[in-house]
């Protein structure tokens, strides 16, 4: 259903311009690639988008892609790098600084670094680069380094730049992943020969398109594995470190880990605490052997730390839909029946499930605390092969309970290492 429209005026002598749009909150930022033209549009009422600010630079310039971070807008300029525009006052956008010297085709911003993708046509072909530029001082962007890859399209996630040659680079190269953890030494580490037009990474999956107007276009999905972790910051004096994996826990994540089950429930940390892209959003998180702890400071404690739904995630990675598992119509004797998913939880698994829970202040360990920690059951008790051994297991939204009769109580029920299985 069509909701609303904003029509920008244009010079009748020019062709129809191509616009790029970025939305932050209730504001849309639209640039036009025929001119260095920026419109700032209020979209709080989607039926009536309203122009609230405009910035126009010299007519020889031409804006390309845009990114907005902390009230600063970064716009690539065809033929000449990028500009930084202060949009904190939408009615009066103001140029703060610019960076030249490269043909700015696309860009991405993370922290104090702009990743500028460029393509240059030469008498013998097409060249390109990813330029890393320090923008800590917005008035004086400072060049840091280059990686020599054709970069008509660029996305940055978790210390890696995902670069595509786009239409102009077809036949020159495929997708390249560049390690940008050291901004002074960006290093291409993985390449794919398939021509790539557009690209979008989500955790360990990369979605990209290839093709031509005549042959049609194809959407590809690639799972990227084996990327190195970013170097961890030195541990603080309050950190608790584990020689077994070489990682530390601190702050709210340490509190949560220690208060809600510790090693048996979560396992050892297997990553540093850092920003991960989770469901398309940058979230501060840390991976553990059995789960992922996410920081959500917008929530009041104890919900400022949330668990990943790794039971669901791992099944999805395996191509298994939990909704297709057998279900029970009613409760079985001695079991707890969950009508929400039509599953029974019985015996030793019910005992283990009930013995642990998220600390919500209830007397003892309540059912709602166990639900908050592990989630609902999403499978019946069933046999599965895990690392070459056959076990009886039951899947929950956030865990996999495994029966190990060879172990003495209480270790006859263990939680699966879903963090190791799910982590990109």
Q: What is the pLDDT of residues 275-294, one digit of tens each?
A: 887 876 778 999 999 999 99
Q: Enter the tokens of residue 313.
A: 């995630």
* 165 has pLDDT over 90: no
CATH number given to 19-223: 2.120.10.80
Q: Enter the tokens of residue 326.
A: 């057998």
* 245 has pLDDT over 90: yes
pLDDT band per the 50, 70, 90 thresholds, residue 169: very low
- Whether residue 100 contacts residue 86, with contact meaning beta carbons closer than 8 Å, is answered with no
* Mean pLDDT (whole number) for 167-191: 77
Strand order through the sheet with 94-99? 63-69, 72-77, 82-86, 94-99
Percent of all residues in the chain with a pLDDT value above 90, rounded to a whole number: 54
Which range is least confidently modeled, 229-233, 246-250, 304-308, 338-342?
Answer: 229-233
Give the model's pLDDT for residue 3.
62
∠282-286-288 over CA atoms, to 5°? 140
∠305-22-75 over CA atoms, to 5°? 115
- Whether residue 403 contacts residue 390, with contact meaning beta carbons closer than 8 Å, is answered with no
Q: Enter the tokens of residue 114.
A: 């702009």
Give the model's pLDDT for residue 365.
92
Is residue 234 classed exposed, middle or buried when 0-12, 13-18 and 19+ CB atoms within 10 A define those classes? Answer: exposed
* E strand residue ranges, 59-123: 63-69, 72-77, 82-86, 94-99, 104-110, 113-122
- Whether residue 396 contacts residue 378, with contact meaning beta carbons closer than 8 Å, is answered with yes
CA distance 112 to 69: 10
Q: Domain boundaries in the chain?
A: 19-223, 240-422
* 123 has pLDDT over 70: no
Q: Taking all residues of the chain, what is their mean pLDDT, rounded to a whole number?
A: 86
pTM: 0.62
21-to-15, 26, 167 alpha-carbon distances in Å = 19, 13, 20
CA atoms within 13 A of residue 363's CA, in its CB half-sphere: 0
* 336 has pLDDT over 70: yes
Q: Enter the tokens of residue 85.
A: 């525009």
């Amino acid at each position: 259903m069509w909701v609303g429209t904003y029509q920008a005026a244009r010079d009748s002598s020019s062709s129809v311009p191509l616009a790029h749009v970025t939305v932050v909150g209730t504001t849309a930022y639209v640039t036009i690639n025929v001119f260095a033209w920026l419109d700032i549009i209020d979209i709080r009422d989607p039926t009536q988008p309203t122009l609230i600010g405009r910035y126009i630079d010299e007519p020889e310039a031409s804006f390309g892609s845009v990114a907005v971070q902390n009230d600063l807008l970064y716009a690539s300029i065809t033929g000449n790098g990028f500009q930084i525009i202060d949009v904190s006052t939408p009615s009066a956008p103001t140029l703060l600084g610019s960076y030249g010297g490269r043909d700015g085709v696309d860009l991405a911003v993370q922290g104090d670094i702009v990743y500028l993708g460029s393509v240059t046509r030469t008498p013998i072909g097409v060249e390109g680069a990813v330029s890393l530029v320090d923008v800590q001082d917005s008035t004086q962007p400072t060049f840091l380094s280059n990686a020599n890859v054709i970069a008509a399209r660029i996305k940055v996630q978790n210390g890696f730049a995902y670069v595509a040659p786009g239409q102009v680079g077809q036949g020159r190269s495929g997708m390249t992943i560049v390690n940008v953890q050291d901004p002074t030494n960006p290093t291409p580490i993985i390449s794919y020969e398939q021509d790539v037009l557009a690209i979008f990474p989500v955790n360990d999956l990369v979605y990209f398109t290839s093709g031509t107007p005549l042959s049609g276009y194809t959407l590809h999905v690639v799972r990227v594995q084996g990327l190195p972790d970013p170097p961890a910051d030195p541990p603080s004096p309050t950190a608790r470190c584990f020689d077994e994996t070489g990682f530390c826990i601190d702050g709210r994540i340490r509190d949560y880990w220690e208060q809600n089950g510790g090693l048996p429930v979560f396992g050892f940390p297997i990553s540093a605490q850092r920003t991960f892209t989770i469901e398309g959003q940058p979230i501060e998180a840390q991976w553990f052997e059995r789960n992922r702890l996410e920081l959500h400071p917008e929530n009041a404690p104890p919900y400022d730390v949330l668990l990943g739904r790794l039971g669901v995630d791992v099944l999805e990675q395996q191509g298994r839909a939990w909704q297709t598992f057998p279900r029970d119509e009613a409760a079985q004797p001695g079991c707890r029946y969950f009508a929400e998913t039509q599953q029974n939880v019985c015996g030793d698994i019910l005992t283990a499930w009930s013995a642990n829970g998220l600390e919500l202040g209830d007397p003892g360990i309540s059912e709602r605390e166990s639900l908050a920690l592990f989630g609902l059951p999403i499978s019946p008790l069933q046999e599965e092969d895990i690392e070459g051994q056959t076990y009886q297991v039951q899947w929950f939204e956030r865990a996999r309970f495994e029966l190990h009769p060879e172990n003495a109580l209480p270790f006859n029920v263990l939680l699966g290492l879903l963090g190791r299985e799910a982590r990109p």
